[in-house]
Structures are given as structure tokens and as C-alpha cells.
Structure 1
């Protein structure tokens, strides 16, 4: 009976949408029906659920931050939907974002440390001859659907199949702009590196076909050695969720440590005293990769403002500051260039070493390029 009803709907739609446009629409609907449920990911069960329940971060069925946080704070007299539709912010660049193809790396040099930012949070760390990829998202939209949701403001500077061989792939949390099903499946086929993820996120990878031996789930302060690197999941102040369920998986920041070089990545986080603790335990860091975009006074505890990111960098005992989580997707109401403009001003005021690469530009941490304000011409 269910199949008969489905056939009737398809026939009705087919009569109304003739020609190529109608076929394309039907194909799109079929894609949604097939792939959206999978993109929502998996649910914790069995040994994975039992391990989550033992975490100090887990209580009453969900994960929690150390301090109380709210994902949205109502502000009297402010209508976010109206502001989204009718606001005067310049939320898109006025011309194409300049992309670079990464120059030939020197990852085989034992002391070399370089960073390649591909856009948003997707970043390649080349450290002491090893390569670690952070939060890869290559899809056109950060969404469970290819038809709706925030769309890219620039293309990835390289194709996924052009990435060099990877030693590890790190995921900070399960939001769609950090964990993308299509990208994971492509990396599963084209790379052999393990996926290191916070507790519970392995359920999504498991549903998408990643074998158990390539999934390493860590709680805060837990470490795993891979390819001579010590990779540690560290605290963050954020939340998680795909679909309607919230906080069923953990979120984290990451420390990537070699024999001589150290890198810190925030993931998504509000500013909190955990940065000073991480700096004291794991720092100093040669470079920090810091979230600077998608902030708003309506959610101040789960995303940092640029000035707070500078404070966090100093708490962490960071050397070079490289901003991430801006320029690629519209996820907040501020101007497209506001995060990096505010960051540049604050970095100068507090004497923080800063590099602002174009997507695809390789940054040699010991010899970073001077900040040239490249984004201002298209803001």
C-alpha cells in the first residue's frame, strides 16, 4: 500500500512538471528521500553508549560543558529572523574570493611546520613530516541536504583527490559545517588515515561505512599516538547535534604534538578558562588555529568574538595566530569581513603575530607572510 501511494504521488508530480525541469526536480526529491536520513548520522548504542555514559562530561543522557551555557539568548526588541531577511549587513563578498593552489610542501623536513587553510575550518597541518587534516568539508552546502542550507561563498581551492596522503583526520564535533557525510565517504575511499573524533561521533562514521579500525574516539584529555604524533582531545565550550537531538555526542578542541612542534585547534567554542589550563598543560604552541567567525551577542558563550579569540591565543601561550571559521559560509548576521577586520585590529593592539592566508595558501609558521588585507578589496 505504501508503494502504491508513492507511485501515485510520483505520477501526479510528473503530470505537473514536464520536460527536463520536472525530471530534475523529481531526481532532487529522490536524492533527499534517500540520503538525508543517512546524513543525519547514527545514534549511540552498545559499547559506544556505555563508554559515553562513563565520561565526566556525560550526565542525564547528554554531554555538557563544564560551565552552564545557552545556545541562544533572547534579546528584548530584537527579531533575528527580520534581521536575517532585512538587515543591512554585507554578508557576502562583492567579488570572487581569491584562491591559491598550495605550493609544493616540505612535509618530509623533520622540523618544518606549515598550515594550509582550505576555507571555513578545513585545514591541513604539515608537522614534522606528517599531515593532519582538520574538519574537512568539501560539499557545496553545510547541510544534510544538497538542495537547502548554507552554500559556499567560494570553491575549495583543491579537489579532495588532490590532497596529499594523510596520517590523521580530526573532527571537532558533529555540526554540518565540520562533519560532512560526502566528504567523509570520499576520504574513506581515497585515503587510509584514521579518523580521530570526540566521544559518540564514531556512530555517524559507522553509519557511513567507516570501518571500526579507522575510528578512534576520545574524551577530553585522552590522547592517541599516530604516525609519531601525539594527538589529544581537549576541552571546548560548545554543543552538538544533527537533526532534532542535541548534545548526544561530545565536542572538542585538539592538540597535535610532534617531537618538537605543537599546534592547537579550537574547533568551535566560546571563550572560557579552559584555554589557560590547556596552555599550561600542553603549550606553548608554535601556532594556534582559532575560530573567529559566526558569532553574535545572541549566542556569546558558544562562539568566540574575534577579540576573545586573541585572548584565548594568549592564554594558550600561542606563537602564530591563524584564523579559521570565516569567509566560506554565512552562518551569522555580521558582515562577511567583520571577523578578520576586528581580529587584525586586536592582534596589532596586543602585539600578536598574525597570518591571514587566502584559501589554499601555504603558511610556513616560522616565516609567515605579512598580513596584506587581501579581503578588503572584495568586502
Structure 2
């Protein structure tokens, strides 16, 4: 009888606990459901929509690349979903990604040019005593939800509140792995730098509470001066969208120019003849930050293969090549280390100066560390 009573109590307690857990789960889902619409961002309206409509890149209600592109190309006999689930690719490292904590920058601010790569595309440019942050994403997932979507393969090497004072924050486009609502909101509290974004992206920032005076929207070839730097939005070959609607905002690459030093950042882009034009107009560059990961033959016009990134670097008249957009999120079907392995081989074949930092490692552009293949031990 005692055991029967005990069993009844256990069952009753179990039902209550399941009920509490169910309520907690529902509360969590309700919170996520409430937050997801905000993470999707804003829509163009009013003066912002009117300005977008005047852009040479805007027609028939959306932004366009200069050349015709397709975000996905069907390949007979290939099933991407099956490959994603059952493919044999080694899409994760076998051990923790080594992280470093950058110390203070150099004291010689007149000619200073350093790069600190935090992972994926998030990168700090230290140029002539100024600091420019690119595409900051500190969330655990690049997704509108904290429960689903690509999850980090390594932690950020520093916390957001440990970043030094910034002079500008640049966003290349509005995809979740480049524009993160939680990170943007955190930067509102700890930083006062303006956000420089392509046309239309300001609608997202506006919805997330960024003050209008901190939002600077640029079309391709437009520039803005901040803290003695000239920052120019330049062309890219990609697409945009955070919900069902595609291409309602513009995408761009960026040129960051000081008095003596120049940096180019691709954002996301396929290989196109615009790189040679940018190199002729804005180059040569001391360093280029080039997208090398998340490519596939199913989307060849919107992301570069590593060999194409080397060609783009040469078109740009680049000096040092620093790869970005790899190692942090699984966004394609290739092996985790394949992008940088292919890059290293191509850079050696074409005599391109290369630095491959660990996340958090500072690269002094004039004295870059030798490539040591650190990733191969954990691939």
C-alpha cells in the first residue's frame, strides 16, 4: 500500500511538473514568437522608400545586381536536402576553435593599420587611430529565432561590452549572419558610433530603436566622412531579405580610406567585373577582407569560391589578403576547412600575401603573421 501511494504521488507530481514544464515551454515559445517579428526588421516607407526608388539599382519595386543573377541553380540529379542530411562532408571542426584575446593596438596612430577578425564576417579595422566594426554578429544563432537556425561553432573571442570605443559600424546587407538585432541593440547601449548601411537597411535599424542621427544610408558610389575617414559603399553581387520578401534593401561592399591607408571589404558577393572597377577607382588597398566561405555550385553568382576571391583581390589591387566569412557558422555543404585550404593553395600559386588569423587575433598589416595552418589540426 505504501508503494502504491508513493507511485500515485510520483505520478501526480510528474503530471504537475510536466504541466509546469509545458507552461514554461509555451511561455518561451510566446517570447520567441513575440520577438521574431521584430527580428525580421522594418519595411521601406516614406522618405526612405522615395530615396530607394531613385537609386539606379532599384526598379520594379526591388533592388537589382548590375548583371542578371540567380540565387539558386537547380542541378539535375542533385538533392541538396538529402546532401545536407546524409552528406559525408566534415562540416564541423573536431576540436574547439582556438580563440585569442587581442591586446591594445599600436601607439603609432598615424600609420596604424590592424585587423581583428572575431569570426565569420565580424571584423574590427584599426586604421590611423580610428576603429571601424564590420557586420557584428554576437548572437548564438544567425536566425530570427534563438531556437532554430545555424548555430555558432565557436564563441566570440570577446564580449560586446569589451569592444573598444568605435568610430563607425558598417553593415554590408541585411541577412541574419551579417545583421543581428540583438547585437545592434547591445551596441546602442555601449557605443555611440553611427551605423553606415546600404539603402533601405535603415528601416530595420529604425524598428530596433536606433536613433535617426546614428543611421547613415548610402547607395553604391556614395561616401560619408566620419572621424577623418572616408567610407564609401561600393558595388557587390548578392541579394537581400529577412523574411519572405527578397531584395527590398540594397547590399554593398565597403571602402574604408584614411589619409594614408585603405581597406576593402567584400560583404557577400559573387565574382564580377565590378572588382576591377573598384580597384581602379579606389585602390590600391593595403588589405582586403574577402568572403571565402559558404559557396556552392548551386549558387555560384552570389558567393565567391576561394579561387575567385583571390582573383577579386588581384582585381582590387590588394596588398594583404585576410579571409572572412568562414569557420563560425555552417551555411553551405563543403567541409569546414575547405575554404581556407583552397585559399592557401591558390594564394601560394598566385603569389598573394595572405594572413589567416585565429578568431580574436590582431593582424598588423605591415607585419602579418606567417600562415601556419592552425585550422588543419582540428579539421
TM-score (norm 2): 0.95
CA contact (8 A) 1:327 1:337 kept: yes
Question: Cα offset for 1:106?
Answer: 2.1
Q: Which residue in 1 is equivalent to 2:4?
A: 4
Deviations 1:65-120 (A, max 9, x none): 00000000000000000000000000000000000001221266111100000000
Secondary structure at the aligned position of 1:18 is classed as helix
Question: Cα offset for 1:34?
Answer: 1.2
Secondary structure at the aligned position of 1:32 is classed as helix
Question: Cα offset for 1:17?
Answer: 6.8
Q: Which residue in 1 is equivalent to 2:50?
A: 50
Change (3 A) 1:10 1:188: farther
Deviations 1:34-86 (A, max 9, x none): 10000000000000000000000000000000000000000000000000000
Change (3 A) 1:341 1:34: same
Change (3 A) 1:185 1:107: farther
**What CA distance in whole angstroms lies between the structure 1 residues aligned with 2:13 and 2:191?**
41
**What CA distance in whole angstroms lies between the structure 2 residues aligned with 1:214 and 1:8?**
62
Deviations 1:319-345 (A, max 9, x none): 000000000000000000000000000
Question: Cα offset for 1:5?
Answer: 37
TM-score (norm 1): 0.95
Change (3 A) 1:201 1:86: same
Q: Which runs of 4+ in 1 moved over 2 A?
A: 1-17, 19-24
**Greater Rg, structure 1 or structure 2?**
2
Change (3 A) 1:323 1:11: farther
Change (3 A) 1:189 1:347: same
Gaps of 5+ in 1: none
**What CA distance in whole angstroms lies between the structure 2 residues aligned with 1:56 and 1:14?**
63
Secondary structure at the aligned position of 2:47 is classed as helix
Deviations 1:188-216 (A, max 9, x none): 11100000000000000000000000000
Deviations 1:254-287 (A, max 9, x none): 0000000000000000000000000000000000
**What CA distance in whole angstroms lies between the structure 1 residues aligned with 2:133 and 2:180?**
14
**What CA distance in whole angstroms lies between the structure 2 residues aligned with 1:160 and 1:89?**
33
Change (3 A) 1:160 1:8: farther
CA contact (8 A) 1:95 1:378 kept: yes
How many residues get paired?
379
**What CA distance in whole angstroms lies between the structure 2 residues aligned with 1:361 and 1:271?**
28
**What CA distance in whole angstroms lies between the structure 1 residues aligned with 2:187 and 2:133?**
11
CA contact (8 A) 1:117 1:360 kept: yes
Change (3 A) 1:19 1:198: same
**What CA distance in whole angstroms lies between the structure 2 residues aligned with 1:34 and 1:166?**
31
Change (3 A) 1:349 1:9: farther
Gaps of 5+ in 2: none
**What CA distance in whole angstroms lies between the structure 2 residues aligned with 1:2 and 1:26?**
36
CA contact (8 A) 1:28 1:147 kept: no
Range with greater deviation from structure 2 (103-112 or 13-22): 13-22
Secondary structure at the aligned position of 1:319 is classed as strand
Range with greater deviation from structure 2 (280-289 or 96-105): 96-105
Change (3 A) 1:219 1:4: farther
**What CA distance in whole angstroms lies between the structure 2 residues aligned with 1:150 and 1:345?**
28
Q: Which residue in 2 is equivalent to 1:276?
A: 276
Question: Cα offset for 1:24?
Answer: 4.0
Question: Cα offset for 1:25?
Answer: 1.6
Question: Cα offset for 1:8?
Answer: 27
Change (3 A) 1:340 1:215: same
Secondary structure at the aligned position of 2:178 is classed as coil
**What CA distance in whole angstroms lies between the structure 1 residues aligned with 2:65 and 2:173?**
13
**What CA distance in whole angstroms lies between the structure 1 residues aligned with 2:324 and 2:242?**
22
CA contact (8 A) 1:14 1:22 kept: no
